[in-house]
């Protein structure tokens, strides 16, 4: 196996720890001896790979080698390890997590619980009243930049270190902290109000004395809670009873798994059969529930009633559960609470919001550390040249404070104000209306993205199905020819009613003789259409729901209600099925009623056809098909109908020459195809099948296999009726938007909770996977050996999209995380289906850790919140699934297509502007520090400030702030150009606008200009030495204003105003604040006289110095634009 993966196995006995409350996939270092799996026979005994497959999510725990520890170890970093362990130990004691256990819950008796369970309250706040101030301060001062300013400001309280006035250091720092605190406080109050609203919702609790109203936060394990229609379920419950007569109800799960279709839940039979609600207290019963876990699609438990002889035992599965955060869609339900608060499935699957820090901020933080190093080195050089005389240590610190302007505090202020300005511009953009910026700290991230992880349902698609095509083999009907089908159906049933009906209530199948097993007779198109439509109308899991609009409680009506079309809605777990049934209604055959044992259809003439449901074989992701056996009550005919994916049905139906080709054609159009077939059964055939089927269902060993084998014996030589094509409508402009993002070099991964076939179909129709690309569907794997083989098979493929299910992904990540991520990152597109909310967040974290690139997650449902919060940049869409995702996101948009402009235009501008602004503010600090260094070196290395405190504050604010800040209006490319050439975005991800290279260029510029300004002032003004401050400062201000003009790429009228306003302010202060232009302290008596400023020598000498400092840079810039222009300038020219 030359192309195999070099894989390191995990030893069989390596222990694994189950994870519950962690939405992050922790990293562990494996210190096993490397041995190559390729050298083993892969399919040796299974147990070699079947490590104790414990829980939903497990990982190998690292084993740390115990090294020899001595004094050397302690000095070389051991003290850090010891301090760390002590802190971890204290933290562990303070917030020790209780081990999650299985539990026995007695109905209506919370006091019988053996353990104390968590409170049923929702808490999304980051801080409480005591931790708010320390928490916010920690978040601010963990950055080197802010910590540095704090230390410098505090040093000014020491008299011997005092350089200038206190306000010059404390005012800017206080301003930054005040703004941050206010912003955090407002966010925190909003979160608190949202939580309070959720926790104080009232519910009815059943007690021995009757109904009592309780708050959501006061619900306990063991309580019997009544939840009405359209009410949120407050905690995880077992479904005991419903007002619906059939003992089942529908719930909406869109906030849990993102799927908008309703799920059918079944009440526990024993409690549903009790005559009255109050009888729940007259029985002695308990529920045994497994320990709380992440998986929202599975549950194992038992219901036991003790007061009968013999005891009644019922097994409980996922269909008996009502998870918290879902909503009751029909009837009123009563359940017993089994998990509360932090142990509910929805909370276990939610990750907590982290404080996001932009990549640009981290880069600037690194640069400030480099500047600090330069500042310390410069100070040491100054003291060293002095010869370390006198109190040199104090002088060293004074020099550090003197050069502290190298790292300007205005950097933080300017960048924060800039971020707010970008947020305001995004929200005011008329091309993306309704966009909201919720996190103002990371707009630059929009310009640095490499991976976009998107949800499918409601994000790429509208989740609205439309029936597009019916193919009968020889004839195909599209949307424009549906009226022909309708006329055929009307005709078919007209023939039936015109025949004598022998007293039966009508509805015999027309041309019954064609269905006998005699020699085949070619059927007419009429009868073929009729059979196909009838099969589609019968073979499904759809339930019609009627609203009876009675004052008071809304109930689902039963057979005694009128079946008026406008009063009926269809519910099923699949929107495809609902659309197929709606389509049969539109052509004349209407599903009017259904319960667990029967269903009724209404013909175009108004007759009711009744069918008895004998068996249902539900759809599973393994079988990829569903079947139903019905007996028509008027004729007694038994028919087995089946529909499913073409791959599953091709071997089941009779030989034909068109199915494969037509399925391919429909798939290329982006339609979801289903093959429909039938088989007529005689009474004897059915009885024989039923006996074998019931026997298989009672077997203890291999029950699933035996049941499947019996059903398969029936699935032979079925008559192919038709092929249907349904389209899941995409959101507006999804295809061009995905194309745009792909051209911009962004890799798109689709993470969905939906089925594999559906996900693949949408990936094709949305052009997420281009037509020329192959798709590699990763086979389901359950152990290490299978994963290894499948990864090797995948490695041989080149340039193909990957489709993988959540379960297989879990196995791959457990054993071959690094190899899998490496292979997946090479794919042009990846589709992960059947993903739980936690898995979505894990995939985001994986990409961040393995690729070190910036990730963006976009979704619209509650199930996408974890993913959105884990990503570097989260975008929420306000959709049908509520506002949960958009509230948790950093940016909220109304349509998927807006993401193109958000990234290409606003992302680009925010990043480019912040990079220019950050570097310019640093340049402004470095140039004045260079001048200070030159001044000190000329004046016998005295640690005396060159400019007074007021001039320094004025320099960073009123004299240069407006022109420098006007860089936030600059743009290198027009928005239309950025959208027309998305390839320009690729340059941004390389981070070339702000790097050590560009930073060094700015350092050289600063040193050159600072040196020229100071030396120029000293050389030209030897006779009037007292005026050196005025001359050098005037030239400095002019240089800064000219440098802003040099940096700007596109002029805006506000920039011109800012330049002239700043110049005006400076000239005015020269006239009125002349006492500040002396050297050192004012007590030196060096005042500036107005008459000198207005003389020609002053003007020409200032102009000469300014010209020498700026002209070479203008010439270099001109030559660079001419001989090595950047990519964007080629386009704009």
| Phi and psi at residue 498, to the nearest 5° | -75, -25
How far is the C-alpha of 258 from the C-alpha of 317, rounded, in Å?
21
How far apart (Å, rounded) are the C-alpha atoms in residues 845 and 833?
18
- Helix, strand or coil for residue 316? strand
* 875 three-class SS: strand
Alpha helices in 342-481 (DSSP H): 345-348, 359-386, 392-402, 410-428
Q: Order of strands across the sheet with 829-833?
A: 436-437, 891-893, 873-877, 854-859, 449-454, 747-751, 829-833, 800-805, 774-777
CB count within 10 Å of CB 61 equals: 13
CB atoms within 10 A of CB 1034: 25
Name the nearest CA neighbour of 100 among 14, 17, 27, 220. 17
Say if CB 600 and CB 609 are below 8 A apart.
yes
Instruction: Annotate 734-770 with b (16+ C-beta within 10 A) or e (fewer).
Output: bbebbbbbbebbbbbbbbbbbbbbbbbbbbbbbbbbe
Number of Cβ atoms within 10 Å of the Cβ of 44? 10
Spatial neighbors of 664 by CB under 8 A, at least 6 apart, are none
Report how far residue 1023's alpha carbon sits from residue 697's, in angstroms, rounded to the nearest whole number: 109
Output the CA–CA distances (angstroms, integers) from residue 489 to 535, 566, 638, 679, in the order listed.
13, 22, 21, 21
Half-sphere exposure of 409 (CA within 13 A, CB side): 24
Taking the CB of residue 605, how many other CB atoms lie within 10 A of it? Answer: 12
Is 187 tagged catalytic?
Answer: no
Q: How far from chain centre, in Å, is Cα 654?
A: 46
Distances (CA, A) of 80 to 28, 76, 369, 496, 986: 20, 9, 22, 89, 41
User: In sequence order, what are the beta bridge partners of 206?
Assistant: 211, 224
Other C-beta atoms lying within 10 Å of the C-beta of residue 697: 11
Q: Which residue among 223, 254, 455, 972 is the active-site one?
A: 455
Q: What contacts 279, CB < 8 A, 6 or more positions away?
A: none
Contacts of 381 (CB under 8 A, 6+ apart): none
If you write DSSP's letter for every residue of 610-657 in order, what string do you get? Answer: EEEEEEEE---TTT-EEEEEEEETTT--EEEEEEE-HHHHTTTBPP-S
Residue 328 corresponds to which tokens in the numbers above? 């009751």
Give yes or no for a contact between 1010 and 928, defined as CB atoms under 8 angstroms apart.
yes
The secondary structure of 191-247 as a DSSP string is HHHHHHHHHT-EEEEEETTEEEEEEGGG--TT-EEEE-TTPBP-SEEEEEEESSTTS
DSSP single-letter state for residue 882: B
> Residue 398 corresponds to which tokens in the numbers above?
């004074």
Give rounded-to-5 percent helix, strand, coil for the chain.
Answer: 50, 15, 35
Ramachandran category for residue 384: left, alpha or beta (phi over 0 → left; psi -120 to 50 → alpha): alpha
User: Could you tell me if 330 and 217 are in contact, meaning their C-beta atoms sit under 8 angstroms apart?
Assistant: no
CA atoms 553, 558, 564, 570: torsion sign: positive
The rounded distance, in Å, linking the Cα atoms of 433 and 895 is 9
Residue 233 is encoded by which pair of tokens?
A: 């379920």
Query: Where in the sequence numbering do the catalytic residues fall?
Result: 455
């Amino acid at each position: 196996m030359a192309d195999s993966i070099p894989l390191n196995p995990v030893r069989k006995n390596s222990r694994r720890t189950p994870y519950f409350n962690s939405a992050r996939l922790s990293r562990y270092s494996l210190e096993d001896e490397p041995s190559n799996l390729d050298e083993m026979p892969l399919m040796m005994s299974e147990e070699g790979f079947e490590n104790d497959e414990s829980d939903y999510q497990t990982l190998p725990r690292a084993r740390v080698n115990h090294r020899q520890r001595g004094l050397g170890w302690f000095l070389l970093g051991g003290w850090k390890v010891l301090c760390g362990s002590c802190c971890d130990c204290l933290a562990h004691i303070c917030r020790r997590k209780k081990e999650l256990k299985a539990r026995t819950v007695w109905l209506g008796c919370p006091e019988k619980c053996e353990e104390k369970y968590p409170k049923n309250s929702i808490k999304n706040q980051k801080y409480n009243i005591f931790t708010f101030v320390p928490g916010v301060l920690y978040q601010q001062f963990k950055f080197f930049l802010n910590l540095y300013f704090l230390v410098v400001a505090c040093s000014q309280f020491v008299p011997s270190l005092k350089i200038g006035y206190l306000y010059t250091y404390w005012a800017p720092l206080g301003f930054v902290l005040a703004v941050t605190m206010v912003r955090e406080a407002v966010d925190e109050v909003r979160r608190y109000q949202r939580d309070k609203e959720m926790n104080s919702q009232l519910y009815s609790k059943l007690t021995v004395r009757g109904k009592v109203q309780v708050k959501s936060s006061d619900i306990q394990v063991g309580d019997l809670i009544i939840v009405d229609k359209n009410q949120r379920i407050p905690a995880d419950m077992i479904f005991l009873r419903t007002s619906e007569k059939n003992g089942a109800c529908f719930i909406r799960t869109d906030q849990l798994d993102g799927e908008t279709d309703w799920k059918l839940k079944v009440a526990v039979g024993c409690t549903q059969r009790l005559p009255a609600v109050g009888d729940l207290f007259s029985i002695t019963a308990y529920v045994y529930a497994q320990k709380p876990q992440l998986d929202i699609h599975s549950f194992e438990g038992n219901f036991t009633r003790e007061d009968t002889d013999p005891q009644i035992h019922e097994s409980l599965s996922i269909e008996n559960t009502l998870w918290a955060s879902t909503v009751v869609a029909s009837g009123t339900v009563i359940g017993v609470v089994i998990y509360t608060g932090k142990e509910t499935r929805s909370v276990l699957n939610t990750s907590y919001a982290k404080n996001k820090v932009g990549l640009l901020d981290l880069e600037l933080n690194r640069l400030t550390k480099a500047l600090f190093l330069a500042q310390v080195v410069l100070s040491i050089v100054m003291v060293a040249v002095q010869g370390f005389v006198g109190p040199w240590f104090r002088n060293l610190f004074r020099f550090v404070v003197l050069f502290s302007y190298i790292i300007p505090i205005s950097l933080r202020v300017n960048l924060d104000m800039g971020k707010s300005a970008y947020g305001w511009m995004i929200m005011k953009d008329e091309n993306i209306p309704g966009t909201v910026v919720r996190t103002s700290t990371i707009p630059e991230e929009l310009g640095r993205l490499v991976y976009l992880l998107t949800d499918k349902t409601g994000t790429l698609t509208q989740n609205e199905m439309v029936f597009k095509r019916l193919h009968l083999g020889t004839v195909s009907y599209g949307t424009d020819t549906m009226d022909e089908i309708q006329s055929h159906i009307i005709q078919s049933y007209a023939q039936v009613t015109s025949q004598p009906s022998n007293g039966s209530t009508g509805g015999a199948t027309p041309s019954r003789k064609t269905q006998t097993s005699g020699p085949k007779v070619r059927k007419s198109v009429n009868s073929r259409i009729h059979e196909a439509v009838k099969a589609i109308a019968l073979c499904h899991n759809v339930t019609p729901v009627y609203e009876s609009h009675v004052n008071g409680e809304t109930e689902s009506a039963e057979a005694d209600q009128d079946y008026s079309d406008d009063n009926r809605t269809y519910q099923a777990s699949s929107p495809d099925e609902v659309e197929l049934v709606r389509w049969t209604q539109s052509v004349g055959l209407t599903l009017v009623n259904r319960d667990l044992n029967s269903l009724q259809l209404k013909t175009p003439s108004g007759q009711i056809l009744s069918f008895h449901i004998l068996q249902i074989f539900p759809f599973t992701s393994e079988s990829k098909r569903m079947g139903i056996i019905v007996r028509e009550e008027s004729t007694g005919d038994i028919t087995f109908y089946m529909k499913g994916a073409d791959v599953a049905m091709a071997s089941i139906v009779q030989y034909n020459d068109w199915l494969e080709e037509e399925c391919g054609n429909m798939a290329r159009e982006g339609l979801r195809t289903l093959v429909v077939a039938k088989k007529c059964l005689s009474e004897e055939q059915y009885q024989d099948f039923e006996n074998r089927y019931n026997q298989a269902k009672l077997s203890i060993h291999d029950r699933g296999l035996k049941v499947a084998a019996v059903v398969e014996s029936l699935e032979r030589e079925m008559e192919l009726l038709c092929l249907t094509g349904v389209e899941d409508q995409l959101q507006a402009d999804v295809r061009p938007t995905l194309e745009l993002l792909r051209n911009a070099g962004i890799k798109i991964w689709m993470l969905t909770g939906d089925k594999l076939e559906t996900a693949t179909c949408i990936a094709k129709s949305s052009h997420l996977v281009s037509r020329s690309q192959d798709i590699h569907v990763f086979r389901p794997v359950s152990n290490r050996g299978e994963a290894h083989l499948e990864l090797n098979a995948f490695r041989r493929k080149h340039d193909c999209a990957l489709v993988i299910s959540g379960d297989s992904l879990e196995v791959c990540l457990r054993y071959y995380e690094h190899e899998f991520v490496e292979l997946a990152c090479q794919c042009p597109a990846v589709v992960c289906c059947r993903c739980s909310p936690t898995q979505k967040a894990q995939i985001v974290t994986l990409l961040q850790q393995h690729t070190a690139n910036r990730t963006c997650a976009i979704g619209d449902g509650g199930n996408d919140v974890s993913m959105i919060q884990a990503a570097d940049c989260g975008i929420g869409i306000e959709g049908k699934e509520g506002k949960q995702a958009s509230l948790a996101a950093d940016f909220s948009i109304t349509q998927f297509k807006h993401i193109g402009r958000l990234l290409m235009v606003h992302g680009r501008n925010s990043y480019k502007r912040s990079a220019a602004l950050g570097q310019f503010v640093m340049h402004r600090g470095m140039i004045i520090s260079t001048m200070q260094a030159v001044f000190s070196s000329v004046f016998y290395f005295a640690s005396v400030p060159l400019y007074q405190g007021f001039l320094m504050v004025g320099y960073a604010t009123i004299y240069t702030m407006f022109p420098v800040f006007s860089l936030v209006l600059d743009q290198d490319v027009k928005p239309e150009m950025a959208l027309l050439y998305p390839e320009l975005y690729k340059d941004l991800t390389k981070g070339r606008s702000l790097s050590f290279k560009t930073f060094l260029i700015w350092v050289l510029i600063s040193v050159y200009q600072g040196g020229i300004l100071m030396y120029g002032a000293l050389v030209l003004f030897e006779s009037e030495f007292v005026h050196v401050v005025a001359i050098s400062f005037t030239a400095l201000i002019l240089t800064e204003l000219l440098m802003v003009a040099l940096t700007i790429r596109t002029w805006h009228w506000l920039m011109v105003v800012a330049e002239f306003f700043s110049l005006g302010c400076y000239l005015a202060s020269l006239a009125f604040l002349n006492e500040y232009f002396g050297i050192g302290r004012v007590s030196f008596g060096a005042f500036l006289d107005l008459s000198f400023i207005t003389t020609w020598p002053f003007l020409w000498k200032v102009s000469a110095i300014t010209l020498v400092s700026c002209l070479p840079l203008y010439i270099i810039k001109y030559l660079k634009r001419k001989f090595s222009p950047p990519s964007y300038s080629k386009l704009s020219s």
